Copies of this chain bind each other. A is one copy, B any other.
Amino acid sequence: MSSETRPARGATRDDVAKLAGVSSAVVSYVVNNGPRPVADATRVKVLDAIDKLGYRPNAAARSLITGRSDLVGLIVPDVRNPYFAALAQAVEVEARAEGVNLVLAQSLAGQLLPLVESLSGHLVAGVITAAVPEPEAIATLSRNRITMVRLSLVPPDVDATSILPDYYAGARDAVKHLIEVHGHKRIALVAGSDTPDRPAVVIDSRQRGWEDAMNSAGLPTDAVVRVNWSSAGGWKAAGLLLSDHPDCTAVFTMSDQQAIGMIAGLTGAGRRIPDDVAITSFDGSPEAEFTIPPLTTSSVPMKAMAKAAVEQLLKGRTETRLFEPGLIVRRSCGCH
C-alpha cells in the first residue's frame, strides 16, 4: 500500500501501569478522564509515570478499538491557490483546537476517488472538501459512513452539508457599490471556470448576484468574460475585456486571484485603475491589500466558516449554513 520507514516504539500503557503500580485499565481511565473514576492519589502516580516515561498513547491501537481516529481529511484543488491556502490554514487551526489532525489531499484537477479511498482506510472522522467530488467518491464515503462537509463549494448538492459564503449577497452588494456609489453603467463580469472553453455546468451564485444588481438598476448584462480562477486567468480576462467589451468602465471579478492578474493586464495595456476601469473583487485575501491600487473586495469570513465546518463534522450535524461576506473598500473601486 505504501512505502514506510522504521518502527517508532516508545513506552506502552503497560510500562506506565507497571511503573505506577496499577493496572493498565487505570492508566486508560486517567488518560481518557474516564469512563471510570480514579482516586486522586492514584491519578498522581499514573501522571508521574507517564511523565517519567514520556508516554504517548498509540493512536493506532486506540483507533482500532474505537473505530475512529482523530484524523480529518481536507481536500482542496491546490494549496498554492491563496484562497485554498487561507481555507486550509483556517481549517487546520480549528481542527487542532478540537484535537484533530488534518490530512491534506490535493485533487490537482484529478479525481477525488483515490484520495477518498486512501483517507477511508484511516478511519478519518470525516472529510472536508473544497473540491468537487465525483459520485464514486461520494459513494465510497457513504459506504464507509464517513461524514463529508463541503466548504465554500459552489453549488452545494442537494442534501449535502455545506458551509459557504453568501456568494449571491456578496456579489450583489459589491456590484451595487459600483453602481450606486460610483455611478458605473457598463460593468463586466469576470467569471471563474475550471473549463473556460465550455459553459459552466451550473451558474455560480456570484453571477446571479451581479446579474440581479445590474437588472435592478436597468443595466445590461451582456459583458461576461469567463476565465480560469487564477492570476493568469485574470490577465487573460484583461485582454478579452479590452477587445470584446471596450466600453466597460468597471469590472466585478469573482476571485482576488483573477483581479490581481486583471490589474496587471490592464496596467500593462496602459489603462489606469480605477480611472479608466474600476475593479471590485471577491475573497478578501491578504494580498489584495498590496495590489496597485489596493483592491476593493468582498471578504469571506473564513475563520468562522472553518470553525463551522469542523464542528459540523464532529457533531455530525448536516445543516447547510451561509456566511455573510463584508465589503472591504479600497482604492480599486474608486473610493478614497
Contact = CB atoms under 8 A, between A and B. Distances in A.
Interface in A249-281: 260-261, 263-264, 267-268
Contact of A143 (B31, B54, B62): B54
11 contacts: A2-B70, A5-B68, A10-B143, A58-B121, A59-B63, A60-B122, A60-B123, A74-B104, A88-B104, A264-B292, A267-B292
Contacts of A7: 66-68, 145
A267 B293 CA distance: 9
Contact of A144 (B8, B63, B69, B313): B8
The binding surface of chain A is classed by DSSP as mixed
A318 to B, nearest CB: 12
Would you list the 9 A-B pairs with minimal beta carbon distance, nearest first? A2-B99, A7-B67, A60-B63, A2-B70, A85-B85, A264-B290, A60-B64, A59-B121, A104-B104
A56 interface: yes
A117 B58 CA distance: 11
A82 B6 CA distance: 32
Contacts of A70: 1-2, 4
B101 A290 contact: no
A325 interface: no
A121 B122 CA distance: 14
A138 interface: no
Nearest to A95: B104
A142 to B, nearest CB: 10
A68 B292 contact: no
B92 A105 contact: yes
Q: How large is the interface on A (under 10, 10 to 19, 20 to 34, 35 or more residues)?
A: 35 or more
Contacts of A79: 79, 85, 88-89, 92
B286 A231 contact: yes
Contacts of A119: 101
A291 interface: yes
A219 interface: no
A78 interface: yes
Interface in A121-168: 121-126, 140, 143-147
Contact of A316 (B5, B124, B144, B231): B5
Interface in A34-90: 54, 56-64, 66-71, 74, 78-80, 82, 85-86, 88-89
A108 interface: yes
A304 interface: no
A100 interface: yes
Given A89-B78, A143-B10, A292-B267, A120 B56 contact: yes
